[in-house]
Amino acid sequence: MKAYVFPGQGSQFPGMGKDLYEKSDIAKALFRKADEVLGFDITNLMFEGTAEQLLQTKVTQPCIFIHSVISVMTDPANFNPDAVAGHSLGEFSALTAAGALTFADGLSLVAKRAAAMQKCCETQKGSMAAVLGLDDAVIEQICAQTTQEGDVVVAANYNCIGQIVISGSEQGVDKASKKLEEAGAKRVVKLAVSGAFHSPLMQPAQQELQQAIDSTIFSTPKCPVYQNVDAMPHTDPEEIKQNLIKQLTSPVRWTKTIQNMVGAGINEVIECGPGSVLQGLMRKIDRNVNSSHFGA
């Protein structure tokens, strides 16, 4: 059984999607549609933009979504999922690839999500850090203790066994990082991000996104979508919408998502879109599962 997975923020690179555009008339039409939906020439930004330009959240997220979804839509004969999932932003790509959202609606939601998150980052300074080599329970306890002391910090991304990303106020992340190092973490690495994604500090962005999600039509996907908030498979459009709304302030339960997929019989995981981050995480979660890149 095959699962197709879609990456989140951080997988972008200059020139992304140009090869897809040059090889396919379907891709050309979808890139033109993307420019139309967004109201600016994102195609040129993807092909010719600098790494710095692609780092802006409001640009990064649509770029990764466009690349991920077009890679699948230009080769539909080879896209035959038994399940799909996406890491954070990638959940929107997964839902679109599985037919729960149209390309235009998926991209529109991603653009609104990115803009709301960027606005949130500008009004509420936050940060994130990757914690390596420490048990989940210890990280959760230290985050809870630091938050009780008045500086918000939470476990935000459960990426793989031994790698969790924490998120919160700058002070909260700094304080928790010191405590985590003292508790025996192999490394605590501050991430080059501008905000506290998947933490309570994203509440204003969540409220904006909820309005957009509530007014968008979702269809039943052609296969189960394993969602970030509970790592469980969903096909009911209303459940999917509610989980998407919760996603911005809830942790990404990626380790559990993969474990649940494997438990349901998935033995092949195929990454769709830019980069190979999810293949790397897959090898750390379960080496017995065959992982590859779509189109490779």
Q: Which strands sit side by side in the sheet containing 153-160, from one edge to the other?
A: 153-160, 163-169, 126-132, 187-190
> How distant is the alpha carbon of residue 119 from its chain centre?
18
Is residue 293 among the annotated active site residues?
no
How far apart, in whole angstroms, are the C-alpha atoms of residue 3 and residue 79? 10
Q: Amino acid identity, residue 96?
A: T
CA-closest candidate to residue 255, choices 135, 162, 134, 147: 162
* Active-site annotation holder among 67, 87, 198, 234: 198
Per-residue b or e along 84-105, where b marks 16 or more CB atoms closer than 10 Å to that residue's CB = bbbbbbbbbbbbbbbebbebeb
Strand pairing class (290-293; 268-271)? parallel
Q: Which residue in the block uniquely carries the two structure tokens 């990638």? A: 90
* Active-site annotation holder among 11, 68, 71, 88: 88
* Cβ(205)–Cβ(218) below 8 Å: no
How far apart, in whole angstroms, are the C-alpha atoms of residue 91 and residue 4? 11
Alpha helices in the chain (DSSP H): 18-23, 25-38, 42-48, 57-73, 90-97, 103-123, 136-148, 170-182, 203-214, 237-247, 254-263, 277-285
Is residue 88 among the annotated active site residues?
yes
Residues with a known catalytic role: 88, 198
